[in-house]
Structure 1
């Protein structure tokens, strides 16, 4: 997602819950640009949550994450999540009365007030959700379109040589 957004000319800031590298669920090591504490008070056009377990549970349990999501949603910024991360949006109350998608089984127990869809990407107002790793490209391109416009999305997608 970061690569696609940067190709679209979007300024992306990645933030970790703590300083230093993060080992993702499949052993991929990511080095965030900064820490969550360092950017918690900043206003962004969009906050995007990555999926994967147990990281999604860690995000859901962090009061700083919930506060940032609530503040950004209240000011009309986009919030987005992929794979298991839509459950973080649900637990923060941001999916109530909305259409959404997620990795199968993630939102079913929380479906009260959420209209679940099986589409690769679902956008409902200022909230964007996606199903999982196989939909990450579609998700990233949707985010690029929202932040940089449809023409820029088409240019980025053409350069990717997608079928």
Structure 2
């Protein structure tokens, strides 16, 4: 079974975080949520999220994928955390998946993960970055890197993550249960 780490920072976009966690777990994927610091995470709209563990505890394990929810200032907190940058660099060097949505692709860029790659983000967060080919699609996959645009694309993004980690059949099974149009 695939293992995924979802770091949670104060000010993260709750719709993105919860959608990612929920759909991955529906697919039977092991998801660990990790707060940058101990305690409850206060998301961008005031929703309180309770991480499974702290990031320091989570970093004692290995993961097949790291997924960064967006939102501000949550994505900025992720970008400013050297543990997150180091983890993303290690994941990329090992050929493992890194993924980010909304403002969080800027964290991938900060870690050098987007160099020479195609990516998308919330409008403006990747503009002008050298070496990044910005796309406008809802979800962009370039090798082991997946990015998405924002809260409105969170379900498409999470389903793409399911497909990458568990296959098209599992994606179809999860999506059927959602009763999407």
TM-score normalised over the length of structure 2: 0.88
Q: Residues 69-108 of structure 1: matches in 2 within 5 Å?
A: 69-108=88-127
Q: What does the per-residue CA deviation read over 1:129-154, in whole Å, with 9 as the maximum and x for residues that have no partner?
A: 00000000000000011111110000
The corresponding residue for 1:148 is 166
Question: Deviation at 1:109?
Answer: 3.1
The corresponding residue for 1:159 is 177
The corresponding residue for 2:39 is 20
CA distance in structure 1 between the aligned counterparts of 2:164 and 2:89, rounded to whole angstroms? 20
Among candidates 9, 16, 39, match of residue 28 of structure 2: 9
Q: Residues 122-133 of structure 1: matches in 2 within 5 Å?
A: 122-133=140-151
Question: Deviation at 1:39?
Answer: 1.6
The DSSP-based 3-state class of the residue aligned with 1:76 is: coil
Preserved CA contact (<8 Å) 1:43 1:72: no
Question: Deviation at 1:54?
Answer: 0.6
The corresponding residue for 1:35 is 54
Q: What does the per-residue CA deviation read over 1:68-120, in whole Å, with 9 as the maximum and x for residues that have no partner?
A: 1111111111000000000000011000100000000111032x111100000
Task: For structure 2, list consecutive stretches of 5 or more residues without a partner in the other structure.
Answer: 1-19
Runs of 4+ in 1 over 4 A off after TM superposition: none
CA RMSD of aligned residues (A): 0.7
Task: For structure 1, list consecutive stretches of 5 or more residues without a partner in the other structure.
Answer: none
